[in-house]
Amino acid sequence: MAKPVLLVTRQLPAAIEARAAQDYDARLNPTDEVWFRDGAEIARRAVEARADGVLIAAGDPMKGPAIAALPASVKIITTFSVGTDHIDLEAAKARGIIVTNTPEVLSFATAETAFTLLLMAARRAGEGERMVRADKWQGWAPTQLMGVTLEGKKLGILGFGRIGQKLAGMARGFGMEIHYRDLRRLPPEVEQGAVFHETDDGFLAAVDMLSMHVPGGEGTTKWLNAARLARMKPGALIINTGRGNSVDDAALAASLASGHTRAAGLDVYDGEPKVFAGYLGLENVTLLPHLGSATIETRAAMGERALQNLDCVLRFDLPPPHRVV
Please provide residue 210's backbone torsions phi and psi, each rounded to the nearest 5 degrees: -120, 125
Query: Is position 325 within any domain?
Result: no
State whether 129 and 167 are in the same domain. Answer: yes
Query: Is position 320 within any domain?
Result: no
State whether 196 and 245 are in the same domain. Answer: yes
User: Which entry of 213, 243, 262, 322 is annotated as an active-site residue?
Assistant: 243
State whether 30 and 83 are in the same domain. Answer: yes
Number of helices (H), then strands (E), belonging to the chain: the values are: 13, 12
Query: Tell me, what CATH number does 138's domain have?
Result: 3.40.50.720
Q: Residue 34: what pLDDT?
A: 97
123 among known catalytic residues = no
User: Which entry of 10, 19, 172, 290 is annotated as an active-site residue?
Assistant: 290
State whether 98 and 246 are in the same domain. Answer: no
State whether 278 and 193 are in the same domain. Answer: yes
User: Which entry of 272, 304, 315, 323 is annotated as an active-site residue?
Assistant: 272
Strands laid side by side in the 98-100 sheet:
25-27, 5-8, 53-57, 76-80, 98-100
Print the domain residue range for 83: 5-105+296-315
Q: Residue 4: what pLDDT?
A: 98
State whether 92 and 122 are in the same domain. Answer: no
Q: What's the pTM value of the predicted model, to 2 decimals?
A: 0.96
Q: What is the mean pLDDT of each run of 10 residues along the chain (325 residues)?
A: 96 98 98 98 98 98 98 98 96 98 97 98 98 98 98 98 98 98 98 98 98 92 98 98 97 98 98 97 98 98 98 98 98
Please provide residue 297's backbone torsions phi and psi, each rounded to the nearest 5 degrees: -65, -45
Instruction: Kindly report the number of other CB atoms within 10 A of residue 297's CB atom.
Output: 12
How many domains, in total, are found in the chain?
A: 2
Question: CA end-to-end span of the chain, whole Å?
Answer: 28
Q: How many CA atoms lie within 13 A of 116 on its CB side?
A: 18
State whether 19 and 131 are in the same domain. Answer: no
Q: Residue 217: what pLDDT?
A: 84
State whether 210 and 111 are in the same domain. Answer: yes
State whether 87 and 121 are in the same domain. Answer: no
Tell me how far apart the alpha carbons of residues 308 and 315 are, in angstroms, rounded to a whole number. Answer: 10
185 among known catalytic residues = no
129 among known catalytic residues = no
State whether 85 and 180 are in the same domain. Answer: no
